[in-house]
Structure 1
């Protein structure tokens, strides 16, 4: 940052923090290039502010949602988004789910995943307040807010797109599914979707299945539901070259299908199918940059 930018940060950041938010406490300010712990409803989350942060310029916000029995820290090691936050200049939030009776962290996303002990914790409201809290203290571009989730976190990203579409531009789900009940998903506006799934996933199966007795849909059903919600034409684009996303598969192994024609508000719905990939593929170095290329290209209407 230049001396002028540092002066502006010193003057503007405290003012932004003082404004707060009607839906929750404002996040504390933090020096650019560092990570702060923010307490919200007794549930702290980590927020990384890139060195390029300037309070006079609105930045995209990316939120990482971990899988069942994992944590934000472990999934940051998996996705390696912090480095991309610095390279690309976006704010990056890393929240944790609550812990169930078996000591495993989870998100209450759908009946199939993963509030197995029936706590009823309202993670949808919590994550909505998290987005408001960050926007109350930092210069967030509300047209560019993105969620990335794996497994249970992917289920949760889909729930957020259903229930808080006005706060979210696009989501990326790796090995997660939407709700099995289409009536529970009535988004207020179109949301771009990137669905990534291994065709040999035995935990959350590509063709759908059940989890502790509750059904979850297939990839095709999940994607077609969002294609219809976004108003996309049912004719896909399949001309894109395959991607190399899984180090354990001879690459490029991932087929790309995109629905873009007719989608409202410039949204897109894409499927990346990892041939013979499992539930937690060993990601190549190109995985996270490719996901971010898709997400950051999506911009909500003003």
Structure 2
């Protein structure tokens, strides 16, 4: 049975105030400490490749204080610098005094829906795309783990408060991290992308997860009718819907099975803005939950206040900061 308490007003109560400028930042040469306040570009060797990531160090960062970290993973064709510029996370990092990290995925020849192309991708396999013959997919779990180790060497990192957000293909990689890196991240947000395979996974740790998607999101370059937010409970609980709509329950059910959640959910939010289905753990565990958020007026994008009214970085942080690793 699906429980429906009174609708809440907003996706995440109160938006946080921002500080800083959204213009493109230049990279300053690092100081002897190995970093500068603001934008930093780092490279690191992983399995013979030189991998890249950007870090924004807020002006209030204090090396004597353990500081939270948020990773932001870009989507297909993007890179870390693009999402440094457009995601809104560096501004939240300044306002909240958190280190924000923007890794770049690897460029591959891939086959996607029968079309060969060369583009950047996170190794989120199994996925709807496949590498071309002769391509070797990189170990992005190892890459992200390497970044965490380097951050802990360069900065005073709060090891219990490291978080991750991913968009599109980055959302698929975020889903993979809920299974393979749940011992390292305190909470994870999958945005516009999640598990592709309809299977049951075994996570290292049961953890808090949010999946968010727009009611006009049919994937990159695709369009379709806006889905009424009032139908979220039907979308998540009705079997046999067409693929354009059954994808919602598939994503939810993979999380329910893999994280041993109660299949009954509560609906909250506002059908004029964001509707949220919340699943809780079968066994009492406040750190094991899944939220499915359907956002009104959003197509395939990570909402940043410019491409959509919602500033997801603010809202995601307002939720994530409530969790820490045990």
Q: What TM-score do you get using the length of structure 1 for normalisation?
A: 0.76
The unaligned stretches of length 5 or more in structure 2 are 1-30, 110-116, 223-234, 236-240
What secondary structure is seen at the aligned counterpart in 1 of 2:263? coil
Is 1:177 equivalent to 2:182 in the alignment?
no
The structural deviation recorded for 1:232 is 3.2
What secondary structure is seen at the aligned counterpart in 1 of 2:266? coil
The structural deviation recorded for 1:131 is 1.5
Is 1:293 equivalent to 2:318 in the alignment?
yes
Larger % of strand: which? Answer: 2
CA contact (8 A) 1:175 1:279 kept: yes
Is 1:75 equivalent to 2:83 in the alignment?
yes
Q: Tell me the residue number matched to 1:187.
A: 203
* CA distance in structure 2 between the partners assigned to 1:148 and 1:108 by the alignment: 16
What secondary structure is seen at the aligned counterpart in 2 of 1:104? strand
Q: Tell me the residue number matched to 1:45.
A: 53
User: Which of the pair has the greater relative contact order for Cα pairs under 8 Å at 6+ separation?
Assistant: 2
Match of 2:180 among 140, 163, 181: 163
Is 1:107 equivalent to 2:112 in the alignment?
no
What secondary structure is seen at the aligned counterpart in 2 of 1:73? helix
Q: What TM-score do you get using the length of structure 2 for normalisation?
A: 0.71
Instruction: Give the aligned length.
Output: 259
CA offsets 1:204-252 (integer angstroms, 9 cap, x no match): 7998969xxxxxx82322223323443433332223345xxxxxxxxx3
Cα distance change of structure 1 residues 69 and 208 upon mapping to structure 2, 3 Å threshold: farther
CA contact (8 A) 2:191 2:213 kept: yes
Cα distance change of structure 1 residues 66 and 186 upon mapping to structure 2, 3 Å threshold: same
Is 1:132 equivalent to 2:152 in the alignment?
no
Two-structure CA RMSD over aligned residues (Å): 2.8
Q: How does 1:215-226 map to 2 (within 5 A)?
A: 218-226=247-255
The unaligned stretches of length 5 or more in structure 1 are 1-12, 15-27, 211-216, 243-251
Cα distance change of structure 1 residues 123 and 209 upon mapping to structure 2, 3 Å threshold: farther
Q: Tell me the residue number matched to 1:5.
A: none
Q: Tell me the residue number matched to 1:29.
A: 34
